[in-house]
């Protein structure tokens, strides 16, 4: 494998993934799951863009196919022809080096190609990628495996975006339609919050090993941490309600200066999907409107809201390094999209003195700006725009959510969003210095 190929994927690919059968099987599994997520939708649902940050479902389906077309087929299969050359303009997202792009806030204005044509486009791309893997030389398979693996992880990111985006689309509909029926989940009461101590010292952080990781997860390096404590679980709806009832949104001393225009001009007084009715608070979910459950993790918070709550609680948000050190040897389990709950759930019973809910349920805002690790270099070419160009005016989130696949997350995974983003499944865990 060339050094460039290894850099494209961010790290190395385990040898088993280089077999044609394993690569095709993984490709088919992930591509099919994207379409499975569309099963509850009607044709009309695919085309709506409810705000500039949301993309229509039809666009997600097309863009993830364009990625394989642009970065694999156009480079490795001379005989390949796209069904329509115009797709390269419509379905590029932010890869400037790959050519001109359609204006993002106008994605919902495009009625053609039709939904039927989009699914045919997906099928066309998938068939050619599988044919390439099946017929190429072993040397070629080894060379293209990293970029295919990157494309599959990219598609898993868009699976999550597909769900968060369609949730926002449905939320602005006065009928408040459900994406899917609620899956019964056995709920438990939130345990009293404990403070779990971590000693000071030098720690190694960042990804290492032979499995896939994005380039922004490395290089692995050493950091020094002062002693700190983490909350044993995520902050709950009930605790966030206490913040609201104490005038949290009106108290200027709790908010960053950049946050006040958002809070005031957009009228923030609760998380984005909360509604106060005569009988109490209700919350819009992918299963429609439901009474707010006190013990569930609070979600759909911006960084600004998470930071204000932490100040109100006389605490702070953990740094991403503090979070990663705490999660380093924790078993990867939790409430992910694979469980089909599609909503954060109350914490499982955990042993006293341990940190729970580090993975799944909600992405956890950290107090860390999204910046490069020491020695980081993006890959050459358009694919190098994947992560590095966003290392400005963003904050890091960790741990995955109920819309993330368990096969897509790890303790070193660095998600990132601007501070005012609210439509993602994002919540918080408290930290404090000692």
DSSP string of 148-205, one letter each residue: HHHHHHHHHHHHHHHHHHHHHHHHTSTT---SSPPPP----PPPPP-EEEE--EEEEE
Give φ, ψ of 72 to 5 degrees: -120, -65
Q: What is the model's pLDDT at position 394?
A: 97
Checking if the pLDDT of 370 tops 90, the result is yes
Confidence of residue 345 (pLDDT cuts 50, 70, 90): very high
Confidence of residue 260 (pLDDT cuts 50, 70, 90): very high
Q: What is the model's pLDDT at position 13?
A: 44
* pLDDT tens column, 278-296: 999 999 999 999 999 999 9
**Are 430 and 310 spatial neighbours (Cβ–Cβ below 8 Å)?**
yes
113 inside domain: yes
Same domain, 299 and 386: yes
For residue 118, what is the enclosing H or E element? helix 115-135
Checking if the pLDDT of 409 tops 70, the result is yes
Confidence of residue 10 (pLDDT cuts 50, 70, 90): very low
Token duo for residue 54: 């949301």
Q: What is the model's pLDDT at position 181?
A: 87
Confidence of residue 182 (pLDDT cuts 50, 70, 90): confident
Same domain, 142 and 209: no
295 inside domain: yes
CATH at 273: 3.90.1580.10
Query: To the nearest whole percent, how much of the chain has pLDDT over 70?
Result: 95
Same domain, 144 and 216: no
Taking Cα atoms as reference points, which of 42, 296, 271, 277 lies closest to residue 170?
Answer: 42
Same domain, 124 and 224: no
What integer best gives the mean pLDDT of the chain? 93
Kindly report the CA angle at 365 between 360 and 369, in degrees rounded to 5? 135
pLDDT mean over 168-195 = 87
pLDDT mean over 113-142 = 97
Same domain, 284 and 357: yes
Q: Number of folded domains in the chain? A: 2
Checking if the pLDDT of 9 tops 50, the result is no
406 inside domain: yes
Residue 12 preceded by cis peptide, ω within 30? no
Q: How many helices and strands (H and E) does the chain possess? A: 11, 12
pLDDT mean over 360-384 = 96
Confidence of residue 352 (pLDDT cuts 50, 70, 90): confident
Strand ranges (E), 313-398: 363-369, 395-398
Taking Cα atoms as reference points, which of 423, 239, 227 lies closest to residue 347?
Answer: 239
187 inside domain: no
**Are 105 and 55 spatial neighbours (Cβ–Cβ below 8 Å)?**
no
For residue 276, what is the enclosing H or E element? strand 274-277
Asked which of 8-12, 254-258, 275-279 is least confident by mean pLDDT, the reply is: 8-12
For residue 229, what is the enclosing H or E element? strand 228-231
Write down which residue in 171, 204, 221 finishes a domain.
Answer: 171
Q: What is the model's pLDDT at position 187?
A: 61
Checking if the pLDDT of 14 tops 60, the result is no
Checking if the pLDDT of 274 tops 50, the result is yes
Residue 219 preceded by cis peptide, ω within 30? yes
Which residue is listed with tokens 């029926």? 181
Distances (CA, A) of 214 to 95, 261, 316, 415: 17, 34, 28, 10
How many Å is the maximal CA-CA distance in the chain? 67
Same domain, 159 and 258: no
Write down which residue in 171, 203, 235 finishes a domain.
Answer: 171
As a whole number of angstroms, the distance between CA 335 and CA 185 comes to: 10
186 inside domain: no
pLDDT mean over 76-96 = 96
181 inside domain: no
Same domain, 220 and 136: no
Neighbours of 245 (CB within 10 A): 8
* pLDDT tens column, 206-254: 999 888 999 999 999 999 999 999 999 999 999 999 999 999 999 999 9
Checking if the pLDDT of 423 tops 90, the result is yes
Query: To the nearest whole percent, how much of the chain has pLDDT over 90?
Result: 90
DSSP 3-state assignment of 317? coil
Q: What is the model's pLDDT at position 209?
A: 83
Gyration radius of the chain's alpha carbons: 22
188 inside domain: no
Same domain, 71 and 166: yes
Which residue is listed with tokens 């952080």? 205
Q: What is the model's pLDDT at position 18?
A: 63
Same domain, 236 and 327: yes
Asked which of 2-6, 153-157, 317-321 is least confident by mean pLDDT, the reply is: 2-6
Distances (CA, A) of 178 to 51, 93, 170, 361: 19, 28, 7, 19
Same domain, 229 and 130: no
Same domain, 135 and 217: no
pLDDT mean over 345-365 = 89
As a whole number of angstroms, the distance between CA 337 and CA 138 comes to: 34
Write down which residue in 156, 171, 186 finishes a domain.
Answer: 171
Distances (CA, A) of 390 to 285, 286, 387, 395: 29, 29, 6, 10
Same domain, 238 and 318: yes
Checking if the pLDDT of 2 tops 70, the result is no
Q: What is the model's pLDDT at position 184?
A: 63
- The full length of the chain comes to 434
25 inside domain: yes
Structural domain range at position 28: 3-171
């Amino acid at each position: 494998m060339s050094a460039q190929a290894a850099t494209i994927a961010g790290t190395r690919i385990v040898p088993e993934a280089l077999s044609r059968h394993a690569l095709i099987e993984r490709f088919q599994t992930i591509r099919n799951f994207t379409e499975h997520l569309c099963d509850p939708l009607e044709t009309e649902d695919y085309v709506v863009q409810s705000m500039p940050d949301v993309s229509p479902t039809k666009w997600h389906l097309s863009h993830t196919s364009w990625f394989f077309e642009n970065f694999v087929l156009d480079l490795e299969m001379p005989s390949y022809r796209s069904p329509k050359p115009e797709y390269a303009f419509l379905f590029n997202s932010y890869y400037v080096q790959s050519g001109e792009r359609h204006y993002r806030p106008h994605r919902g204005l495009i009625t053609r190609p039709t939904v039927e044509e989009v699914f045919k486009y997906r099928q066309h791309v998938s068939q050619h990628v599988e044919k390439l893997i099946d017929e190429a030389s072993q040397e070629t398979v080894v060379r293209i495996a990293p970029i295919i693996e990157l494309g599959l992880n990219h598609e898993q990111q868009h699976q999550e975006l597909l769900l968060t985006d369609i949730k926002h689309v449905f939320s602005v509909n006065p009928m408040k339609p459900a994406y899917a029926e609620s899956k019964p989940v056995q709920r438990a009461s939130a345990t009293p919050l404990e403070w779990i101590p971590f000693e000071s010292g030098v720690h190694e952080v960042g990804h290492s090993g032979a499995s896939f990781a994005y380039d922004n997860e490395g290089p692995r390096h050493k950091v020094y941490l002062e002693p700190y404590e983490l909350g044993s679980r995520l902050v709950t709806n009930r605790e966030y309600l206490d913040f609201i009832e104490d005038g949290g949104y009106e108290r200027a001393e709790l908010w960053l200066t950049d946050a006040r225009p958002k809070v005031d001009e957009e009228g923030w007084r609760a998380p984005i999907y909360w509604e106060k009715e005569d009988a109490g608070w209700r919350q819009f979910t992918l299963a429609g409107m439901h009474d707010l459950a006190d013990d569930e993790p609070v979600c759909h918070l911006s960084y600004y809201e998470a930071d204000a709550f932490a100040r109100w609680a006389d605490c702070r948000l953990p740094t991403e390094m503090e979070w990663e050190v705490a999660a380093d040897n924790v078993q990867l389990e939790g409430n992910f999209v694979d469980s089909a709950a599609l909503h954060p759930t109350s914490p499982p019973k955990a042993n006293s003195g341990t940190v729970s809910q580090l993975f799944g349920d909600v992405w956890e805002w950290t107090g860390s700006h999204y910046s490069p690790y020491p020695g980081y270099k993006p890959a050459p070419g358009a694919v190098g725009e994947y992560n590095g160009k966003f290392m400005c005016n963003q904050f890091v989130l960790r741990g995955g959510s109920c819309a993330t696949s368990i096969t897509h997350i790890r303790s070193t995974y660095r998600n990132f969003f601007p501070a005012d983003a609210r439509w993602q499944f994002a919540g918080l865990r408290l930290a404090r210095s000692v």
